[in-house]
Amino acid sequence: MHNSPRPYRIIISGGGTGGHIYPAVAIANQIKTVNPAAEILFVGAKGRMEMTRVPDAGYKIIGLWISGLQRRLTLDNLSFPLKVASSIRASYKIIKDFKPDAVVGVGGYASGPLLYAATARRIPSLIQEQNSYAGITNKLLAKRVDKVCVAYPGMENFFPSDKLVLTGNPVRSDIMESHLKRNEALAHFNLNEAKKTILVIGGSLGARTINQSIAAGLDQLVAAGYQIIWQTGKTYFPEAEKLAATKTEAGIRAFDFIKRMDLAYSVADIVISRAGALSISELCLAGKAVILVPSPNVAEDHQTKNAMALVQQHAAILVRDADASQQLINKALALAEDEAEQKILAGNITRMAKPNAAAEIVNELLKLIK
């Protein structure tokens, strides 16, 4: 690794969802590994998830007054030009005060103004795109920045090919050792080691269709002898908690949010999940047989595109959101019974893992500073 002579000063900008925040924090942690005295400042959007999650991870964050453009005419849209102007002004000031050696954008509203200002000042800059379908902010910034780190091949459709580096998505390091923690996980979730376990994850915000399908099929799953770790998100949790309380003996465990995802993966025989870019990167590293139910409510339907990148390699099973109430339970039961298919899927998804993503991104960043 580089033995850097001085502490680097880096700004990391973006957020909006867990899918943007976790990679940003993983990049920050990796910078600290390589350059322990580095000064890192995050810039996010006021009122969004990053304003609490980033300080929880031990980093300082400044919020910009920025939001996305709504698809319909709203008051928010009328104030949008004002917010952009105000955020670019604030970004110039942040850059002048902090004097960064380089800036990183991870997608999300706040990365637009900050990287616009940084590139105007010719500060070395890099963006990281998590999805197989580029977000609008990153597409606009790509012409201005020095490097674009991507998680999927074939991104020349969106970005200048001479700037592209295929690194994968940075994932929390504890996921990488998840396969070693089965006994700890059985104790943590109070599960029966003789039974098979299905892990259900709806992403950081929860997934209504998945939750409703699981609720409707709970008796079938219990009758077939499976135990379930069920992350519902906040909204659906009260209902899931009631259902789980009547089936504690059968090993049904409901959570609004699972802090120890490493343990959840380690004990799972099969996984049912949304197809957010970060979830997919974690599933590749955990090496599990997975059924993906892409969220239909995301821009450009990019979750379906993420899922198809795996399905084409026989590395996952796809159930469309519209078909989940009809098909999800039957597909889950069929996969849970079929150990040969589980092995094939797990082997194929593991081959798509990029365990060194954070290190590769930070290497690219340090090359720009040099």
Find out whether 17 is annotated in a ligand binding site: yes
Find out whether 131 is annotated in a ligand binding site: yes
Q: How is residue 69 written in tokens?
A: 């453009």
Find out whether 108 is annotated in a ligand binding site: no
Find out whether 204 is annotated in a ligand binding site: yes
Alpha carbon distances (Å) from 32 to 7, 22, 26, 27, 338? 10, 15, 10, 9, 44
Angle (CA) 52 56 58, round 5°:
125
- CA-to-CA distance for 168 and 322, rounded, in angstroms? 29
Find out whether 231 is annotated in a ligand binding site: no
- CA-to-CA distance for 27 and 217, rounded, in angstroms? 40
Q: Kindly compute the dihedral angle of the four CA atoms of residues 103, 262, 360, 9, in this order, to the nearest 10 degrees.
A: 30
Find out whether 18 is annotated in a ligand binding site: yes
Sheet holding 270-273, edge to edge: 252-255, 226-231, 196-201, 270-273, 289-292, 317-318
Alpha carbon distances (Å) from 43 to 108, 109, 235, 358? 11, 10, 28, 19
- Find out whether 248 and 218 touch, Cβ atoms under 8 Å: no
Rounded to a whole number of angstroms, the CA Rg of the chain reads: 21
- CA-to-CA distance for 201 and 256, rounded, in angstroms? 10
Please classify residue 82 by burial: count the beta carbons closer than 10 Å to its beta carbon, then call 0-12 exposed, 13-18 middle and 19+ buried. Answer: exposed
- CA-to-CA distance for 185 and 46, rounded, in angstroms? 36
Find out whether 211 is annotated in a ligand binding site: no
Residue 348, classed as helix, strand or coil, is: helix
- CA-to-CA distance for 107 and 185, rounded, in angstroms? 33
Helix (H) or strand (E) holding 263: helix 261-267
Find out whether 44 is annotated in a ligand binding site: no
Query: Taking Cα atoms as reference points, which of 34, 113, 119 lies closest to residue 360?
Result: 34
Binding residue positions: 17-19, 131, 172, 204, 258, 303
Binding residue positions for UDP-N-acetyl-alpha-D-glucosamine: 17-19, 131, 172, 204, 258, 303
